[in-house]
Amino acid sequence: MQFEPIGYVRCGKQLKFETPHQPKLDSNETNRIILEPDRQFDLALQDLNGFERIWVLSWFNRNQSWRPRPLPPRGPAKRRGVFATRSPHRPNPIGLTCVPLLDVDGLVLTVGPLDLVDGTPVLDIKPYIRTIDAFPDSKLGWIGEVEETLLNSRRFGIEVSAFARRQLDWLQNQWGIDFTGRAFELLSLDPTPHRTRRILQMGPNEFRMACGPWRLFFHLQDECVIVDRIDKGYSDESLMAEGNERIPDRDAQVAFGATYR
């Protein structure tokens, strides 16, 4: 079997950390899927206008390995069989995303929120057919239990120390980098240590969350996550090492290191 991508996702999100685990239903972001030229895909797209949603089958090209029992990011730290999850680490790393179709113009599809990073190869597109594809009353398996627990569990407040606020403002103003939306969303749901959420316990009440190439240090107080400081994820040596030019946010990390020694 051999697949050729029919196109690529263009969404501006470079880091896996920036993308949600599933498309955010309440977001009004727009993204694009650009199909390859010279393959008659303009004809293949005919009649797609008029469908409100499409299925996008994609290839999780950033993953090189899979695990039979991954640790899902939501809920208690419990491994599940990969075929009972939507983990992107699969024997055939095929993604399946249902997304609103906003426009088709030539080879460019404008779509709603996605859970895929920029450049993800697209293998196929199919119309979402509500009368065939939707079974809203189906049992949710282990996810049903997790969703119920999350629904009833407390939300953590988020406070940012003055020092961390200065660091975050510096990143935003100097480099246009802001990972706090996704980080705070995850932390407010559950800040406890978790391998897939990449939260590590560093001391009795000190935790570190990896946000792509950045690190966010926090402690817990009552029902609140207190963000103490930010750090870069790479050492000076690896940032300067030849061949590592493609480290995400590399220049910003070098400048951050020089500013916050």
Ligand X SMILES: C[S@@+](CC[C@H](N)C(=O)[O-])C[C@H]1O[C@@H](n2cnc3c(N)ncnc32)[C@H](O)[C@@H]1O
Which stretches of the chain bind ligand X, using CB under 6 A? Answer: 16, 19-22, 60-63, 86, 88, 95-97, 115-117, 120
Q: Least distance from C-beta 250 to ligand X, angstroms?
A: 20
| CA angle (224 as vertex; 223, 228 as ends), nearest 5 | 155
Q: Least distance from C-beta 91 to ligand X, angstroms?
A: 13
Strand (E) or helix (H) holding 183: helix 180-189
Nearer to ligand X, 22 or 27 (CB): 22
Q: Least distance from C-beta 117 to ligand X, angstroms?
A: 4
Nearer to ligand X, 120 or 167 (CB): 120
Nearer to ligand X, 123 or 226 (CB): 123
SS3 42: helix
| CA angle (245 as vertex; 67, 181 as ends), nearest 5 | 60
Which parts of the chain are beta strand (E)?
7-10, 31-35, 53-59, 94-105, 108-111, 121-127, 157-160, 199-203, 206-211, 214-221, 224-232
Q: Least distance from C-beta 197 to ligand X, angstroms?
A: 11
Residues 157-175 as b or e (16 or more Cβ within 10 Å = b): ebebeeebeebbebbeeee
Nearer to ligand X, 73 or 127 (CB): 73
Q: Least distance from C-beta 64 to ligand X, angstroms?
A: 9
Nearer to ligand X, 74 or 256 (CB): 74
